[in-house]
Amino acid sequence: MQITVSGHHVEVTEPLRDYVNNKLAKLQRHFDNITNADVTLTVDKLIQKAEANVHVAGADLFATCESDDMYAAIDSMTDKLDRQLIKHKEKVLGR
């Protein structure tokens, strides 16, 4: 899986990039057909925002989350993507 991490009004440091890569790597345990993921980290005043667009076979999954802490926003975003991925997998296997 290819992961692209970009920042908007925030510098994406190496620890932040590693954290995103580790969290999104856990998504592959549920579904193997993930091709790539585009993650955008944004800071608006005091609000930290994480957005991700994950491309899988047959669908594009999108999740966004806002928090006071960037790491908490990334955690919530990956939880949302995890639930969407499981639902997509059940839908594909049910056909």
The predicted-structure confidence for 65-89, as pLDDT tens digits, reads as follows 999 999 999 999 999 999 999 999 8
Cβ-contact 24, 9 below 8 angstroms: no
Residues β-bridged to residue 25:
none
The predicted-structure confidence for 24-62, as pLDDT tens digits, reads as follows 988 888 877 888 999 999 999 889 999 999 999 888 999
Strand pairing report for 34-44 and 47-56: antiparallel
Phi, psi of 86 (to 5 degrees): -65, -40
Query: Which domain CATH number covers 55?
Result: 3.30.160.100
Tokens 């944004």 sit on residue? 42
Report the alpha-carbon distance of residue 52 to residue 34 in Å, rounded: 13
Q: What is the pTM of this model?
A: 0.89
For 75, the domain range is 2-93
- The vertex-57 CA angle with 30 and 39, nearest 5°, equals 75
Quote the number of domains for the chain: 1
